[in-house]
């Protein structure tokens, strides 16, 4: 843990976003994670993203479960709302929160333990319901908070710090998400903010759930030579499928980059995400092709990164259920709880 809080001294030429805030206004308290943790870099990418999209801090909700990853919401945006839920229950609590107030912006930060073991069912159903949130998995392949046991995302053959190899098959959140209908799927790397920040911007603009899996090396338990989730291994095996360019709503698209290999997807809020496919013919809107491409590359040992798949045509939780437009806390009490008479009438309807 650092000896001091971050000095209040600021760079004299610090820029301000459209709300008049500097990037330092999006910070949280000092991280208590190990020095060099990938999670801290992801936190920094979230801070940058929220500053760049001028998110009003009081309109943001930070959700998490249990684990190193789930500590991180404390490290960004002081002024936001937050809920630190029971282990693995982050997606469920978030679903409830969104059901109650659809006007806020939600980011859930989870880890491979929280989401792929204890909370996997909760995550799957939040994907299924297309809950409008950014679902970020900080994926390091180990249980860092309990001294480095293999997690459900550890690759076969990946070695623990003591040299033992993992024998169980991993669950890949990207393939899982694609197979059960996730509408926005991306993978990135904590050591590559140039890629991660535009992906996060697109994720916040997405119509439903944006599932973002981020390889985030555990410096203490999983950054050694036998690891498949170390800084070095990730850098050596990373293969970019797309490069993402995020164009905010109401911004004129002036750049005339080659149309060759470029796909534009207009997001729900009017912004545009442009993908440039790095392998020729990669189509980020074709779920079947994306899945087979990923399977193929994965078997040859590559870690495919980028905004891998996006579909803006699917309704989110509220649209699908035809819920009311206003957040529940805006409804007058009589409307929210119309009384015994109305309840009787409703029950009669079902008899």
CB 276 to another protein: min, Å: 20
Contact 225, 161 (CB under 8 A): no
Q: Is 9 in the site for another protein (CB under 8 A)?
A: yes
Q: Which of residues 217-276 bind another protein (CB under 8 A)?
A: 217, 219, 223, 231-232, 235
**Per CB under 8 A, 14 contacts another protein:** yes
If one counts every other C-beta atom within 10 angstroms of the C-beta of residue 35, the result is: 10
Closest CB to another protein among residues 31, 158? 31
Cα 167 from Cα 104, distance rounded (Å)? 42
Distance between alpha carbon 215 and the CA centroid of its chain, in Å? 12
Q: How many residues bind another protein (CB under 8 A)?
A: 34
Number of Cβ within 10 Å of residue 351's Cβ equals 4
CB-nearer residue toward another protein: 9 or 255? 9
12 binds another protein (CB under 8 A): yes
Count of CA atoms in the C-beta half-sphere (13 A) of 300: 8
Residue 4 interacting with another protein (CB under 8 A): yes
Q: Toward another protein, which CB reaches closer, 8 or 280?
A: 8
Would you say 61 or 219 has its CB closer to another protein? 219
For residue 255, the SS3 value is coil
Of the candidate residues 21, 25, 26, 41, the single one contacting another protein (CB under 8 A): 41
Site for another protein in 55-114 (CB under 8 A): none
Q: How far is the CB of 289 from another protein (least distance, A)?
A: 31
3-state secondary structure of 85: coil
Tokens encoding 277: 């496919």
Note whether 7 binds another protein by CB under 8 A. yes
Residues in CB range of 52: below 8 A, 6 or more apart: 17, 197, 201
Asked if residue 33 lies in contact with residue 44, where contact means CB atoms within 8 angstroms, the answer is no
* 38-52 helix and 193-205 helix, angle to the nearest 10 degrees: 50
Least Cα distance to 89 among 75, 112, 110 occurs for 110
Beta carbon of residue 148, minimum distance to another protein (angstroms, whole number): 15
Most distant CA pair in the chain, distance: 70
Interaction between residue 40 and another protein (CB under 8 A): yes
User: For another protein, which residue of 28, 38, 65, 284 counts as binding (CB under 8 A)?
Assistant: 38
- Give the shortest CB-321-to-another protein separation in angstroms: 40
Q: Applying CB under 8 A, which residues contact another protein?
A: 1-14, 24, 31, 34-38, 40-41, 43-44, 190-191, 193, 217, 219, 223, 231-232, 235
């Amino acid at each position: 843990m650092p000896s001091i809080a971050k000095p209040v001294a600021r760079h004299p030429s610090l820029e301000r976003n459209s709300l008049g805030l500097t990037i330092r206004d999006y910070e949280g308290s000092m991280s208590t994670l190990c020095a060099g943790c990938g999670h801290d870099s992801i936190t920094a990418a979230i801070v940058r993203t929220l500053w760049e999209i001028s998110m009003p801090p009081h309109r943001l909700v930070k959700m998490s479960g249990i684990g190193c990853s789930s500590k991180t919401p404390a490290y960004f945006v002081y002024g936001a709302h937050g809920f630190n839920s029971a282990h693995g229950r982050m997606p469920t609590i978030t679903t409830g929160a969104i059901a109650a107030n659809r006007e806020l912006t939600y980011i859930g930060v989870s880890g491979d333990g929280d989401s792929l073991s204890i909370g996997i069912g909760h995550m799957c159903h939040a994907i299924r319901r297309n809950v409008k949130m950014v679902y970020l998995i900080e994926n390091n392949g180990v249980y860092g908070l309990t001294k480095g046991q293999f997690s459900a995302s550890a690759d076969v053959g990946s070695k623990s710090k003591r040299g033992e190899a993992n024998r169980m098959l991993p669950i890949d959140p990207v393939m899982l998400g694609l197979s059960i209908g996730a509408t926005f799927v991306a993978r990135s790397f904590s050591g590559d903010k140039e890629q991660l920040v535009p992906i996060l911007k697109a994720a916040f603009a997405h119509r439903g759930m944006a599932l973002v899996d981020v390889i985030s090396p555990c410096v203490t338990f999983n950054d050694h030579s036998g690891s498949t989730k170390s800084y070095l291994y990730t850098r050596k095996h990373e293969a970019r499928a797309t490069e993402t360019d995020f164009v905010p709503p109401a911004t004129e698209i002036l750049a005339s980059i080659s149309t060759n290999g470029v796909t534009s997807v207009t997001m729900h809020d009017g912004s545009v995400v442009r993908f440039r496919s790095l392998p020729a013919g990669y189509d980020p809107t074709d779920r079947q092709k994306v899945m087979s491409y990923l399977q193929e590359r994965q078997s040859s040992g590559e870690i495919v990164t980028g905004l891998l798949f996006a579909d803006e045509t699917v309704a989110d939780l509220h649209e699908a259920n035809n819920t009311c437009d206003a957040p529940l806390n805006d409804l007058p009490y009589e409307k929210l709880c119309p009384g015994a008479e109305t309840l009787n009438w409703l029950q009669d309807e079902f008899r």
